[in-house]
Amino acid sequence: MDYSNQGYKEWITEVNFLGIVKHPNLVNLVGYCAEDDERGIQRLLVYELMPNRSLEDHLLGRISSKLSWLLRLKIALDAAHGLAFLHEEMDFQLIFRDFKTSNILLDEHFNAKLSDFGLARHGPAEGVGHISTSVVGTVGYAAPEYVQTGKLTAKSDVWSFGVVLYELITGRRSLDRNLPRSEQKLLDWVKPYATDPKKLHLVIDPRLEGQYCPKSAQKLVALANKCLMKQPKSRPRMSEVVVMLEHIIEMPNVKTIPKALNASSYAIEDDNDKTVNVKERSSFRHRVFELREIIRLRKLDWPVMRLGRTL
């Protein structure tokens, strides 16, 4: 846990937001807790159980199962729905500010949900182009104009979404220091191949073993490139990204590709190669205290802050 003032702000932001906002593609907050000990205040957030872990775990091979091409597209669509909701479907706009594969969690049916809203910020007021804020987030995902100027807009999240699309396509992380220098930065590495349909197969995740629709891959690359346009205003809105992804999924041959992942078993392997059945793990839900029980047992004075208060 982060015991700093920044950590407290992030904790409060997430409690305030997830405590009142519900969406199928946002993770549910089951409860939260804070307690004083010799190290300071210990803070805890309890999410709903997401037995298939994060998208990052799958793409980095921490889990032995493979994500099929269709499943990758579905995860991208779910995540796009989540961002579109934050940007365009609430009474206020929320900019995620730290969109990345480790913050995309997968439930027992591989439905994707966004998590970790500690760095989220309210978008600019109507008629204002951006908000100015300190630069936070993860290297490799943050939009260049945000990194350079601190000017934040919803299009910063769109850039991050484009990076994640390339991670889904290639199976590589956005920045990997373990690779040869010319391949460490994902966007630089794919650039020579992404614009040439004849070379595109060279950057497709080899774990797919050729089980993907080439035309849909070309369309997905084109969408990623739109999200990664240098000028923020040239990038699509997330609602537009949703529509484009839906069209890609409905393309001929996309749904008939043999699946590389047997999702019917819904079993994954942990880091010690122990198979964990989702039904067994789901029983953990019944051992999670609801918020009112946590408050009753801990007898804490909970900090109350309205959503929308500047942190």
Are 18 and 142 in the same domain? no
Number of Cβ within 10 Å of residue 191's Cβ equals: 12
| 143 belongs to a structural domain | yes
Q: How many structural domains compose the chain?
A: 2
| 310 belongs to a structural domain | no
Q: pLDDT: is 262 or 231 the higher one?
A: 231
Q: pLDDT: is 118 or 84 the higher one?
A: 84
Instruction: Please give the pLDDT value at position 259.
Output: 55
Are 44 and 62 in the same domain? no
| 32 belongs to a structural domain | yes
Q: How many residues does the chain have?
A: 311
Contact 161, 78 (CB under 8 A): no
Rounded CA-CA distance 163/174 in Å is 7
Token readout for 273 is 């190669």
Q: Given pLDDT bands bounded at 50, 70 and 90, which one contains residue 60?
A: confident
Q: What is the CATH number of the domain that holds 113?
A: 1.10.510.10
Instruction: Please give the pLDDT value at position 131.
Output: 87
Q: Tens digits of per-residue pLDDT, 135-156?
A: 888 989 999 999 999 999 999 9
Contact 143, 95 (CB under 8 A): no
| 280 belongs to a structural domain | no
Q: Tens digits of per-residue pLDDT, 67-94?
A: 999 999 999 999 999 999 999 999 889 9
Rounded CA-CA distance 149/133 in Å is 9
Tell whether the model's pLDDT for residue 126 goes beyond 50.
yes
Are 175 and 70 in the same domain? yes
Residues classed as catalytic: 98
| 120 belongs to a structural domain | yes
Are 187 and 172 in the same domain? yes
**Token match 């793409």: residue?**
59
Are 172 and 206 in the same domain? yes
Tell whether the model's pLDDT for residue 40 goes beyond 80.
no
Of 120, 14, 112, 15, nearest in space to 54 by CA:
112
Are 34 and 174 in the same domain? no
Q: pLDDT: is 273 or 207 the higher one?
A: 207
Are 71 and 143 in the same domain? yes
Are 33 and 175 in the same domain? no
Instruction: Please give the pLDDT value at position 83.
Output: 98
| 305 belongs to a structural domain | no
Are 196 and 246 in the same domain? yes
| 135 belongs to a structural domain | yes
Q: pLDDT: is 53 or 35 the higher one?
A: 53
Are 81 and 106 in the same domain? yes
Domain encompassing residue 14: 5-48+288-298
- Classify the phi-psi angles of 85: left when phi > 0, otherwise alpha if psi is within -120 to 50, otherwise beta: alpha
Are 102 and 26 in the same domain? no
Are 14 and 97 in the same domain? no
| 281 belongs to a structural domain | no
What number is the average pLDDT over the span 13-35?
83
